[in-house]
Structure 1
Amino acid sequence: MNHPTDPTNPAPDESAWEVAMSRDFDARVRDLHEAPLDITSVKGKAHKIKRNRRAAVAGGVLGVAAIVTPIAVLANSTDDAGGRSPEFVEQTTDTAAPPANPDYLQGTTWHQADGDTVELDHEYQQAVQWGDRLVGTRSGPEVYLVTEVLDEDGNVIESMNTTSPVAINDTGTTIAWVEDNGQVMTAWDGGETAIGSVELAAPGETIAWTAAAISGGPDCNEDADGCVVYLNSNLDEDARAVSSDGINDIAADGAKRVFDSTSDGAVSVVTEVDDFGDTCGGIYETQTSAFRFETCDYQVQQFSPNGDFFIGTQSQFDGAGPSRIALVDAADGQTEVNSFERDGWIVGDWTWSPDGAVIFTAYEGGRWHLMAMTVDGDTTELAEPVRGDDFATGFRPIRH
């Protein structure tokens, strides 16, 4: 099997936790309908998986890349969920120029930040920007997914079978994934190494372990920079951290899912999912083995490039996807600096751009929009809306 050396079924009972987990993983690998995205589903239910959008527990999964979407319960931004949900203010969209051009996919077209477009041979459901390369993930012929490394002209350099899209560190230098043989792999410019392994045996077509986040690098060899890869389970096990110095342990106290991590040891996690699908979590500091804060008001998802803010979604939302997202101060987990919410709209994919804006997709009335939201309070539309189904987004932001 080739690797990127040049960088660069279900259980008999379906608990609320299992449903939430399945939605989380579905969100990270949205529309990979031939892959086992859902622990309560098999290939024969692929069309249903496509409609199970980002879950409140997963990304992104209770978040897995990407990610979560509980389908068993309905929620909205005005439901106080027992006093958990904050007051949200509907934002209007500014028509000013966006802070910068983002990298994104539209069908098989790769829109690059410099304005160039590149036509690709395949449509990728998730992608990260790794140096001047694109690492895209698409559905495969079997249970696992196909992840390909492409050069700036769209040529495939390497290809591998993975359990999920790759994770990328906060400096964009190092990627991580779980191979179809259970090896936990990392790669950087000029090097690649396995830092551990997991057991992938699972009932039916369940994906046992997926790569959720990576910190450290760029060189993940034991005697170099060191790396920690965070793994999410779809077998009702706690999230784990596998490091290049041989440690394989729980990711954080009580962590059911990991969303993201930073180079200074902060990890965004979900720690609780109740019978109604509400979630709680927070930011865990691995250096002190303590939580910076815990909250049930948000799912704490991706960190901003400087680590000062995070993308927060409702702690619970229905199977169509979240109706809002907010940019929240990562120091206290409470102070919102911007948010997006519109009546009848749902939010699809989201990620941070290198200059600190959130690029996200939103759906309304048969149209998909590509949006940018900054910590300065601006919200702008980046491209002409495109027609599409509510489960097949017309745009896919590329993560850096």
Structure 2
Amino acid sequence: MGDELERRVRNLHEAPFDLDSVKGTAMKIRTKRRAAVAGGLLAAAAVVVPIAVIDPAQTPSQTATDPVVDPVDPEDPPAAGPALGFTYIEMGSGNAVLHLDDGSRIELPGPDYTGAAVLGDQVAAFRSTEDGQGAVDLVEDQAVTTTYEVRPPVAIAPDGRTIALITDDDELLVLNGEAGEQSFGAVDPDAVLAAFIGNGDCSLETGCHPFLEYGDLEREPFEVNYEGPDTRPVPGALRLNDAADGFLVTAQVSSSDIGSCGGLYDREGGGAVVFETCDSQVLDISPTGDFVAGTDPYGDGLGPTYFSILDRTGDEVARYEVERGFVYVDLAWSDDTHVVASVYQDAQWRVVSLGVDGASEVVLGPVDGTEMLNPFQVTGGYTG
């Protein structure tokens, strides 16, 4: 967690914070090893306008004939690649391959995974299911040992080492390689995960902050924290897009036929406005909190035609425009000043990095493909 968050909590509590004392029966810590698991790249950067933008959880199975990933012998793990600073799943004709931000690679036990997280020696991999829901497989030595039936999205912590998920029977779980499985009990069947921050140790207040929201754009998103299990981080918000250390969140506060409005808000200040804008969707927060990623405030078609970077005043400092294509909204920060996104252009997929100085470069691809089959599923996981 960030220094500011630790300072805030130390001022509030002289001893390590026990969530049981705050939530009572709302949370029961359990360390059973049913699965220290779960994965997914659907987390924090949900699309602001809920119309016709591709959701990674609903991406069809890869069926392209041109291979993106060569089959790998389990006895011969994939060689490390360049350290790009973000995590992604590469999909092709063989098994999906998880590329970590340090360049190391792990082959998964099937082709249909669209997101994953590494929890110690275990890999938690997310896949969509035919019923429109999802499953999280706990993988060890390329074999599935446990499966969770979940209702997506799931949320991954900024350091990539903790996952929050809601099971198909409405139980909110936090899973961490060291702390194991920890339960917040049942949640509203209409609530879904929006974000998660913390180090995964839910016995400490600083360790677990799940954020949830509703899809009806009527009820406010809420956070489980020391102030209670349903604290509103931004009173009056319709949707929460991202949360970060330093008490920052991005949220949507209004919606109309011509777009949406939202901004960057300070949770420590009770939802105080850092900036608001109707000129951009305000999405992923940079690791330092100095910038946020943005895109078109009106969602239509397969996806927006640009992504951008805004500063803390809401001014746009950089933009990447896509011609004859669209942006697959799975943005991630690769370091303090660069955001990456999958882009489909001229019948090819690539991952583009955009800096706050306006410079851009293709860091993955291009790979031939169709609009619905993105071979580069960016999952985030900045660990710098």
Q: What TM-score do the two structures reach when normalised by structure 2?
A: 0.72
Which deviates more from structure 2 when the two are superposed, residues 318-327 or residues 228-237?
Answer: 228-237
Cα deviation, 1:45-93, whole Å, max 9, x if unaligned, reads xxxxxxxxxxxxxxxxxxxxxxxxxxxxxxxxxxxxxxxxxxxxxxxxx
Cα separation, partners in 2 of 1:279 and 1:353, compared to 1, 3 Å: closer
Cross-structure match for 2:35: 4
- 1:29 equivalent to 2:57? Answer yes
Residue 90 (structure 2) aligned to one of 106, 116, 140: 106
- 1:303 equivalent to 2:285? Answer yes
Cα separation, partners in 2 of 1:102 and 1:291, compared to 1, 3 Å: closer
Q: Secondary structure at the match of 2:264?
A: strand
Cross-structure match for 1:342: 322
Instruction: Give the structure with the higher percent strand.
Output: 2
Cα separation, partners in 2 of 1:215 and 1:161, compared to 1, 3 Å: same
Aligned residue type for 1:292: V
Deviation, 1:226, is: 4.6
Q: Tell me the distance in 2 between the aligned counterparts of 1:231 and 1:134.
A: 24
Cα separation, partners in 2 of 1:281 and 1:140, compared to 1, 3 Å: same
Q: Tell me the distance in 2 between the aligned counterparts of 1:128 and 1:233.
A: 25
Contact 1:106 1:395 in 2 (8 A): yes
Aligned residues: 313
Q: Tell me the distance in 2 between the aligned counterparts of 1:3 and 1:379.
A: 44
Cα separation, partners in 2 of 1:230 and 1:224, compared to 1, 3 Å: closer
Q: Tell me the distance in 2 between the aligned counterparts of 1:328 and 1:194.
A: 36
Deviation, 1:254, is: 1.4
Cα separation, partners in 2 of 1:284 and 1:383, compared to 1, 3 Å: closer
Q: Tell me the distance in 2 between the aligned counterparts of 1:233 and 1:187.
A: 22
Runs of 4+ in 1 over 4 A off after TM superposition: 128-134
Aligned residue type for 2:165: W
Equivalent residue runs for 1:184-203 within 5 Å:
184-191=172-179, 192-200=181-189
Cα separation, partners in 2 of 1:157 and 1:101, compared to 1, 3 Å: farther
Equivalent residue runs for 1:382-397 within 5 Å:
382-397=363-378
Percentage identity across paired residues of the two chains: 25
RMSD of aligned residue pairs (Cα, Å): 3.0
Q: Tell me the distance in 2 between the aligned counterparts of 1:236 and 1:373.
A: 31
Q: Secondary structure at the match of 1:225?
A: helix
Cross-structure match for 2:247: 265
Cross-structure match for 1:86: none
Unaligned ranges ≥5, structure 1 = 9-18, 34-97, 201-207
Cross-structure match for 1:92: none
Q: Tell me the distance in 1 between the aligned counterparts of 2:315 and 2:133.
A: 38
Cross-structure match for 1:351: 331
Contact 2:172 2:186 in 1 (8 A): yes
Aligned residue type for 1:104: Y
Cross-structure match for 2:355: 374
Contact 2:173 2:183 in 1 (8 A): yes
Cα separation, partners in 2 of 1:4 and 1:22, compared to 1, 3 Å: farther
